[in-house]
Chains A and B, each alone.
Chain A
């Protein structure tokens, strides 16, 4: 109940700041209804009895009662469902694709999906609908979005020498998805702006909701995560590639390569803005690994199978 009050206070602040005409009672009622539903475990999938207009009518009394659900799906920021997570990831990824489209090479895209799918199958979330893509950008970077979306830039792909290195990079991104790193950032942000979620409830469709919930999809990718999340993804990326049968050191090799690119080069500007420096990542990885990788099974690098881009 405390939380509800806090939410309402925040809501009020946001609304007044934006000069919205605010029916605080309506917000209160909606919020309360949600609380009740949570407590009674009412099935939201029941066919709706009341049309949306009825719900939009001003509340006649201050009494809180469980009115019939009007089939108005709620984006559950506190505990997003798998579908909501995927809808969010689709929104973010689609926006990145708006800035940089896929490389027009179907064989390349399929190849990257095959490698990525196999590595993802070694993770704790093998059943997500994993999707991978190479985007048209000279930058050295890769992106992950909730629900199993992973993108790598053509610039970074061209720096790779073998399949194990690709597996390592994808493993790092897969780790972000498995650990819900981006999702957690979005949730934190959204719960801080709790009021916004009630506003977006006016939308019916899940992707529309996701669209409204994150004012700009790709913004999260431009902002980056905290350092610890990156270090964790490095550690997991190494392990995931190794579990998949690849040489475990593909990712560190790529970090080495990135470290050799001049810092002031445009192609690494965003990467350096959003990630710790490669040297720091390598050092952390080495410190964390300690002796744990000493006797690791030699994996494959598969340079012969690596799909080479002509330009």
Chain B
């Protein structure tokens, strides 16, 4: 019970908690959320997992065979069904997405390629957009107000480059 209370307190940090997920790729399952932590198991592509918590770049998961920490980017939230066309069609027929949420079909038309191609320049809206722009200094004070502080991080290259 205490654990549940703690979990509730930390809910914002644990947005993933209690969700199911699917491994996007093979990865090592580690005892702790560090790359050099002891390996406790292996995650194979397509494995179903339960997501327990999130910490930095890591997700705490439980698979059929093992439990521990894997890289957040190795796991996709939700079951495998959402990427399956056949079940997708069934989901549409039943008015439900793979997540179990009711699909919103409000009848509002989307922004189609055709609409964009035939769109006419709107000066009035453009002027409005320009009037909402913020200066770099405004951005900085806004960041400070939120307790955001800059950190150094280099871009990383693509996997196949």
Contact = CB atoms under 8 A, between A and B. Distances in A.
Interface of A: 90-91, 93-102, 106, 109-110, 113-118, 120-122, 126-127, 129-133, 135, 137-139, 141, 149, 153, 161, 163, 211, 216-219, 221-223, 228, 231-232, 235-236, 239, 242-246, 248-249, 252-253, 256, 259-267, 269-270, 273, 277, 279, 282-303, 305
A184 to B, nearest CB: 17
A147 to B, nearest CB: 12
B27 to A, nearest CB: 8
Given A118-B139, A262-B92, A97 B153 contact: no
B126 interface: yes
A298 B24 contact: no
B116 interface: yes
A294 B153 contact: no
Given A243-B152, A296-B57, A262 B146 contact: no
17 contacts: A96-B116, A99-B111, A106-B132, A113-B134, A118-B148, A121-B136, A137-B110, A228-B158, A231-B158, A232-B158, A242-B151, A259-B82, A260-B97, A264-B88, A266-B105, A279-B76, A295-B35
B78 A259 contact: yes
Contact of A121 (B34, B55, B128, B139): B139
Contacts of B103: 262, 265
Given A131-B130, A256-B78, 10 more contacts: A91-B121, A98-B120, A98-B121, A118-B148, A235-B157, A243-B150, A259-B83, A260-B97, A265-B105, A270-B113
A139 B116 CA distance: 13
Contacts of B35: 291, 294-295
Contact of A296 (B120, B126, B153, B158): B153
A235 B110 contact: no
Contacts of A96: 116, 119
Contacts of A260: 77-78, 82, 97-99, 101
A121 B105 CA distance: 38
A163 B146 contact: yes
Contacts of A163: 146
A109 B119 contact: no
Interface of B: 12, 15, 24-25, 34-35, 55-58, 71-74, 76-78, 82-83, 85, 88-89, 91-92, 97-99, 101, 103-106, 108-123, 125-126, 128-130, 132-136, 138-140, 142-143, 146-159
A138 B142 CA distance: 28
Contact of B24 (A129, A149, A283): A283
Given A131-B133, A288-B157, A305-B146, A97 B74 contact: no
* Interface SS of chain B: loop
Given A261-B97, A282-B73, A114 B150 contact: no
A239 B156 CA distance: 8
A72 B122 CA distance: 26
Contacts of B82: 259-260, 262
Contact of B126 (A94, A219, A232): A94
A294 B71 CA distance: 8
Contacts of A113: 132-134
Given A218-B116, A228-B158, A133 B140 contact: no
